[in-house]
């Protein structure tokens, strides 16, 4: 596409040109693009129709969100006049990932607190005199977000600050959070209930925290508006159709790993990761997103034959059988990818708007908090690391035992339930493992990933093996009004997810670190 089409550029190459072109023509002839923007829920089949019909409001998000801009900017001005210029976002999944990308793209500071790890929450409780907190939850019942809210409310009170003057709520109308916020006198932005969390980048969930932090949200909406007609067109050169058909056809042809390199440096890959994994990873099928730092990263170069290579940002299309390059303004790319994944879901024969396996991990965590399930004993301990889920008798043997179960179609997922601010550097172990194993490797921070790739891990193709890393809480943090602490909560989340993965037949090696820094150094030497 050229600049006259809103600045969105997309080039596509496929190994089976005839198949791609045939499906592309069929998709255009079936009026799928225009049907999506007409909010036709029947496009994904009878079983998905009810759900899909209630989840297509994102196609009109630009128009519906316009009135929010002035309200958000007015509140930002009001806060700045009171000396409040530090914005903390408490949210998970779709409530946090889009604002993180938006603010990074525009060079605006936003503290994204998307964890229940005690040290991360405690680190965010600084400079309260200049801080406002956005509490964002579509359902209004997300336990992580509710816990963060309770902690901040108490911290504000302890600092003699009225929480009602500093807490802003974004939630769906009628949610428990709306009722609580209204009763407490908090400023409430009511989101569009016809938009699912991972499709909410251009709604109140993406705009409120970003706008309060200072991002040009009106420009973001302009960028999306400029390409709406292009993406709704039933033509073979529609970039969303081309990307969606590429991903869907490739996955059907067993190229079901999307290796995404974000050359813009704005973190777009983390947002796309959630959109792709949670939308497509179900019914034993789907597309596994593998986010890498650059086109020179392992899994991108070199790559495996079951991969689709996509560059996000201003770069040339990769030289690979299944590949694409997507460039353009951020708002345009949000809408393009949302449309493309809806198209890919149709080709795969799945409902891209539900997430049937997300709740299972939540329930398992609740069972552990309620005492309904006992914490298992470790198989053994070595070098200050408790090891769970193995028949081996040494740490090295346990790692070898897990990796031996990695097949030629499989992937390894590293799940780190750690303070992602303090231990950010450990994420580079992904590259080391990918280079060593020659298979796709993903890295996710827990519990954040539970709201994104967690759906694919349990509902997608059963070919993953998992390393779960937890640590000892040096200083726990109580949750006001709850009978459990943050440390107990994150432990229950990790244990619960591991149990659900095992119930689905996925191998899980859990490693619990008593000394986090020393343990990570030991693991890096073992895993690489």
Q: Model confidence over 77-86: pLDDT tens digits?
A: 999 999 999 9
CA distance 377 to 152: 34
Q: To the nearest whole number, what is the mean pLDDT of the chain?
A: 94
Q: What is the pLDDT of residue 365?
A: 85
Q: May I ask the CATH architecture of the domain 358-527?
A: 3-Layer(aba) Sandwich (3.40)
Q: What is the pLDDT of residue 368?
A: 85
Strand 187-190 and strand 167-171: pairing?
A: parallel
Contact 395, 387 (CB under 8 A): yes
Residue with tokens 């067109």: 233
Taking 60 as the threshold, does the pLDDT of residue 3 lie above it?
A: no
Taking 90 as the threshold, does the pLDDT of residue 367 lie above it?
A: no
Taking 60 as the threshold, does the pLDDT of residue 4 lie above it?
A: no
CA distance 48 to 249: 20
Residue with tokens 């996925």: 506
Residue in 118, 170, 152 with CA at minimum distance from that of residue 480:
152
Q: What is the pLDDT of residue 8?
A: 66
Q: What is the pLDDT of residue 375?
A: 78
- Length of the chain counted residue by residue: 528
CA distance 92 to 100: 11
Taking 60 as the threshold, does the pLDDT of residue 6 lie above it?
A: no
Q: Model confidence over 187-200: pLDDT tens digits?
A: 999 999 999 999 99
Q: May I ask the CATH architecture of the domain 59-223?
A: 3-Layer(aba) Sandwich (3.40)
CA distance 395 to 429: 17
Phi and psi torsions of 241, nearest 5°: -65, -45
Task: Give every CB contact of residue 238 below 8 A, 6+ residues apart in sequence.
Answer: 28, 33, 230, 231
Residue in 279, 278, 258 with CA at minimum distance from that of residue 269:
258
Give the Å distances, CA to CA, from 407 to 284, 289, 299, 300, 412: 16, 18, 16, 19, 10
CA distance 308 to 237: 20
Give the Å distances, CA to CA, from 501 to 115, 339, 366, 463, 468: 20, 30, 16, 12, 11
Give the model's confidence band at 363: pLDDT under 50 very low, under 70 low, under 90 confident, else very high: confident
Q: Model confidence over 448-479: pLDDT tens digits?
A: 999 999 999 999 999 999 999 999 988 999 99
Q: What is the pLDDT of residue 482?
A: 96
Taking 90 as the threshold, does the pLDDT of residue 11 lie above it?
A: no
Contact 287, 258 (CB under 8 A): yes
CA distance 252 to 154: 51
Phi and psi torsions of 188, nearest 5°: -120, 130
Burial class of residue 54 (count of CB atoms within 10 Å of its CB; 0-12, 13-18, 19+): middle
Span 99-126, mean pLDDT?
97
Taking 90 as the threshold, does the pLDDT of residue 304 lie above it?
A: yes
Residue with tokens 């580079």: 428
Helices (H), 349-428: 358-369, 395-403
Q: What is the pLDDT of residue 5?
A: 45
- Fold type of domain 3-31+234-348: Rossmann fold (3.40.50)
Q: Model confidence over 313-337: pLDDT tens digits?
A: 888 899 898 999 999 999 999 999 9
Q: What is the pLDDT of residue 300?
A: 98
CA distance 172 to 108: 26
Q: Report percent pLDDT > 90 for the chain.
A: 88
Outline which parts of the chain fall under CATH 3.40.50.10490.
Answer: 3-31+234-348, 59-223, 358-527
CA distance 478 to 21: 57
Q: What is the pLDDT of residue 361?
A: 81
Q: What is the pLDDT of residue 13?
A: 65
Q: What is the pLDDT of residue 178?
A: 97
Span 35-53, mean pLDDT?
97
Cis peptide before 302 (omega within 30 of 0): yes
Span 252-268, mean pLDDT?
94
Residue with tokens 């890295």: 443
CA distance 422 to 435: 25
Span 504-510, mean pLDDT?
97
Q: Model confidence over 418-433: pLDDT tens digits?
A: 999 999 999 999 999 9
β-pair partners for 512 = 386, 470
Contact 447, 495 (CB under 8 A): no
Give the Å distances, CA to CA, from 271 to 120, 397, 434: 21, 35, 21
């Amino acid at each position: 596409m050229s600049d006259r089409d809103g600045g969105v550029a997309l080039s596509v190459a496929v190994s089976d040109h005839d198949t791609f072109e045939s499906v592309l023509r069929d998709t255009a002839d079936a009026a799928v693009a225009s049907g999506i923007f007409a909010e036709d829920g029947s496009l994904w089949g009878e079983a998905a129709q009810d759900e899909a019909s209630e989840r297509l409001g994102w196609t009109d998000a630009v128009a519906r969100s316009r009135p929010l801009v002035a309200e958000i900017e007015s509140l930002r001005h009001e806060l700045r006049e009171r000396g409040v210029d530090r914005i903390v976002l408490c949210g998970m999944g779709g409530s946090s990932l889009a604002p993180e990308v938006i603010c990074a793209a525009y060079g605006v500071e936003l503290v994204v607190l998307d964890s229940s790890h005690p040290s991360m929450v405690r680190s965010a409780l600084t400079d309260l005199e200049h801080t406002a907190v956005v509490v964002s939850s579509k359902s209004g019942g997300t336990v992580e977000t509710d816990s963060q809210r309770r902690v901040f409310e108490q911290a504000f009170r302890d600092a003699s600050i009225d929480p009602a003057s500093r807490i802003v709520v974004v939630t769906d109308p009628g949610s428990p959070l709306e009722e609580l916020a209204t009763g407490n006198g908090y400023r409430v932005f009511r989101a569009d209930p016809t938009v699912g969390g991972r499709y909410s980048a251009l709604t109140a969930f993406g705009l409120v925290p970003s706008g309060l932090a200072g991002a040009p949200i009106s420009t973001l909406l302009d960028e999306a508006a400029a390409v709406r007609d292009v993406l709704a067109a039933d033509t073979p050169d529609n970039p969303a159709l081309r990307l969606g058909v590429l991903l869907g056809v490739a996955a059907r042809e067993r190229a079901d790993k999307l290796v995404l390199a974000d050359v813009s440096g704005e973190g777009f890959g983390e947002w796309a990761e959630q959109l792709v994994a949670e939308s497509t990873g179900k019914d034993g099928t789907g597309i596994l997103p593998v986010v890498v730092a650059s086109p020179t990263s392992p899994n991108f170069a070199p790559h495996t034959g079951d991969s689709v290579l996509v560059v996000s940002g201003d770069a040339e299309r990769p030289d690979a059988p299944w590949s694409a390059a997507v460039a353009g303004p951020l708002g345009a790319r949000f809408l393009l990818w949302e449309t493309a994944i809806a198209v890919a879901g149709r080709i795969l024969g799945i409902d891209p708007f539900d997430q049937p396996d997300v709740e299972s991990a939540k329930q398992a965590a609740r069972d552990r908090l309620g005492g309904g399930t006992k914490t298992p004993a470790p198989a053994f301990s070595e070098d200050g690391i408790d090891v769970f889920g193995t028949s081996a008798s040494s740490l090295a043997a346990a790692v070898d035992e897990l990796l031996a179960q990695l097949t030629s179609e499989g992937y390894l997922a590293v799940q780190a339930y750690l303070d992602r601010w303090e231990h950010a550097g450990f994420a580079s172990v992904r590259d080391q493992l990918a280079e060593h194993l020659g298979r796709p490797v993903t890295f996710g921070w827990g519990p954040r990933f539970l709201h994104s790739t967690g759906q694919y891990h349990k509902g997608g193709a059963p070919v993953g093996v998992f390393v779960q890393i937890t640590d000892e809480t040096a200083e726990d943090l109580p949750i006001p009004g709850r009978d459990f602490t943050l440390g107990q909560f994150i432990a229950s989340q990790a244990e619960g997810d591991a149990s659900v993965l095992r119930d689905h037949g996925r191998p899980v090696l859990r490693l619990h670190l008593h000394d986090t820094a020393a343990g990570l150094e030991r693991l890096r030497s073992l895993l690489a």
